[in-house]
Structure 1
Amino acid sequence: MGKQAVTVIGLGPMGRAMVTAFLAEGHPVTVWNRTASKAGELVAQGAVTASSVEEALAANELVVLSLTDYDAMYAILEPAAHALAGRVLVNLSSDTPDRARAAAAWAAGHGAEHLTGGVQVPPPLIGKPGSATFYSGPREVFDAHRETLEVLTGTDFRGTDPGLAAMYYQALMTIFWTSMLSYLQTLALAGAHGVTAAEMLPYASRAMTMMPHFLETYAPHIDAARYPGDVDRLAMGAASVQHVLHTNRDAGLDTALPAAVDGIFRRGMDRGFAENSFSSLVEVLKQPAG
């Protein structure tokens, strides 16, 4: 029995990497992209280019979407909505949990199934061991196509709520972007003192390897809603953050990031959490700043 045929819509770096992975494993692939020229190398590898979105949808039951966001999905698929019946849309585009739920309802209204996906690796790691993608949506649909989807990455099914895969993905992107921005702030501070990024790298890497310890320490605090100050106290952390802020300010740097952190600590202090653990700031973050 031959490998399942797949349609891939969206040929940015991620989409192209996915098509290449499918072709390498012997899956017939039909592709479509607004800029048709992006399909050239993929066609040389064996992909078939559809002349329209309708043709791309008609080609295969399984349709993988690799687009910028859900607005792009609607812009592309709305005009071809009549061709969606019977299709499984594996939406690997990035967007919010609420928009994923709305997209699932929209797809169902046109007779299609929708699986939300959140890819956890960059394009070069597609098809490589150790990669993974969050999925959520109808369990039976996921199970039916799991083997094919695992050509791209490992699969981590998070539940039938279409929004859960998007939530997990955006939650991890929260860690990624804030961590990477703090790294850039660190390098700017180092540079202001004549220290190169190469010189700072081993120390920054060492600091990151300590993070799992703190994650494991604080997770039980959060689940129990108890924030004992037996190991750390918010008042100590607030003083440290002030030192970070002043050090960056003295160096003549942009202080928007450390000032934002300082603001959150101040709100925690104002709430009376001074003797509690740093983890008590989760209570501050549960509400918009007033």
Structure 2
Amino acid sequence: MMHTGTPVTVLGLGLMGGALARAFLDAGHPTIVWNRTTAKADDIVARGAVLAESAAAAITAAPLVVVCVSNHDAVAAILDGPLDGRTVVNLSSGTPSRARALAEEVARRGGAYLDGGIMAVPEAVGSADAVVAYSGPRPLYEAHASTLSSIGTGLHLGDDPGLASLHEMATLVLMWGLLDGFLNGAAILGTAGVSATAYLPLARTAIDTVAGWLPDYARQADHGIYSSDDGTLDTHLAAMANVIEESETLGVNAELARLVKALAERAASAGHGASGYAALVEQFRRP
């Protein structure tokens, strides 16, 4: 393949970093790579990438430097030296405060900074199904949007560099809650000999139903008005008590249900017993 696009450096060749490098190569971008363990670069070099002898050499080899390592501390350790004229796109997991600090450090060294979060598995990278959220100066994002589209569908969240990490955290909480709920439900059904696979059709229906509620819940959370059209919090509390009682009877872990009920009880005690479930957002807004 002729690599005639914008040169790109990829630092970090784990599962995700390797997928990023391959996507840039497949899109026709000259790709320079570096990884602490050089053997991880063998396959990518065989596909046409150039292996730099050091992170510093890799950084100077391309105007766009994409970093995908374990965390923001590792990013800071790799970006050791001048960054004059380079745009650093950090796709490593971290915290909003560390992202903002990295943006300041990159600017101090003469570079520009975008933070990002990959909302996809490595296998999807390089396709439109891979959504990559970015935060940082919009003109900077737009200047590199065409090149970055090689790895997936880009979504710019705002000028604050910390927004990508913040959205990633919010999405992880959502994901864990959904997965924990499914696994908890599978454990309950398992006591009656019902397999998790047999539960899937009903679980998918429930997930689709809840997804349909989200636009209205978002409006309620934004405006602080909690409609009880789909049931009051007091009604939910009664159902939560039933889940806890039956879980204990069956010998199934009831910690998740107890936590959910405790949050709902606090909301009811604050005067939201007759409100809808979205009133729980006020509990999550408190330390």
TM-score between the two structures when normalised by the length of structure 2: 0.95
State the match for 1:43 in structure 2.
45
| Residues 151-166 of structure 1: pairs in structure 2 closer than 5 A | 151-166=150-165
Percent sequence identity over matched residues? 37
Residues 66, 90 of structure 2: 8 Å contact kept:
yes
d(CA) in 2 for partners of 1:121 and 1:213?
Answer: 22
1:76 corresponds to which of 75, 78, 81: 78
SS of the counterpart of 1:127? Answer: coil
> 1:287 and 2:286 equivalent?
yes
d(CA) in 2 for partners of 1:247 and 1:98?
Answer: 43
SS of the counterpart of 2:193? Answer: coil
Residues 234, 278 of structure 1: 8 Å contact kept:
yes
SS of the counterpart of 1:135? Answer: strand
d(CA) in 2 for partners of 1:206 and 1:230?
Answer: 20
SS of the counterpart of 1:119? Answer: strand
d(CA) in 2 for partners of 1:84 and 1:192?
Answer: 59
Closer, same or farther: CA 27–204 of 1 in aligned 2, 3 Å = same
d(CA) in 1 for partners of 2:229 and 2:187?
Answer: 34
What's the CA shift for 1:263? 1.3
1:144-166 residue CA offsets vs partner (Å, 9 max, x unmatched):
11100000011111111111122
What's the CA shift for 1:230? 4.0
d(CA) in 2 for partners of 1:284 and 1:228?
Answer: 17
Residues 57, 83 of structure 1: 8 Å contact kept:
no
1:7-37 residue CA offsets vs partner (Å, 9 max, x unmatched):
0011111111111111111111111111111
Count of residue correspondences? 285
Residues 90, 115 of structure 1: 8 Å contact kept:
yes
Residues 91, 115 of structure 2: 8 Å contact kept:
yes
| Residues 1-290 of structure 1: pairs in structure 2 closer than 5 A | 2-77=4-79, 80=80, 82-288=81-287
Alignment RMSD (CA, Å): 1.5
Q: Which amino acid aligns with 1:65?
A: V
What's the CA shift for 1:89? 0.7
Q: Which amino acid aligns with 2:132?
A: T
Q: Which amino acid aligns with 1:118?
A: G
For structure 2, the residue ranges without an aligned partner over 5 or more in a row are: none
SS of the counterpart of 1:93? Answer: coil
What's the CA shift for 1:124? 0.7
d(CA) in 2 for partners of 1:169 and 1:253?
Answer: 31
1:47-93 residue CA offsets vs partner (Å, 9 max, x unmatched):
1111111111111110001112102112322xx2x232221110111
d(CA) in 2 for partners of 1:187 and 1:206?
Answer: 15
1:225-249 residue CA offsets vs partner (Å, 9 max, x unmatched):
1113344211001111122222222
d(CA) in 2 for partners of 1:72 and 1:177?
Answer: 25
d(CA) in 2 for partners of 1:175 and 1:222?
Answer: 15
SS of the counterpart of 1:94? Answer: coil
Residues 9, 64 of structure 1: 8 Å contact kept:
yes
d(CA) in 1 for partners of 2:12 and 2:222?
Answer: 40
1:167-194 residue CA offsets vs partner (Å, 9 max, x unmatched):
2222122111111111111122222221
d(CA) in 1 for partners of 2:126 and 2:8?
Answer: 15
TM-score between the two structures when normalised by the length of structure 1: 0.94
Residues 96, 163 of structure 1: 8 Å contact kept:
yes
Structure 1 stretch 35-44 or stretch 212-221: which is displaced more? 212-221
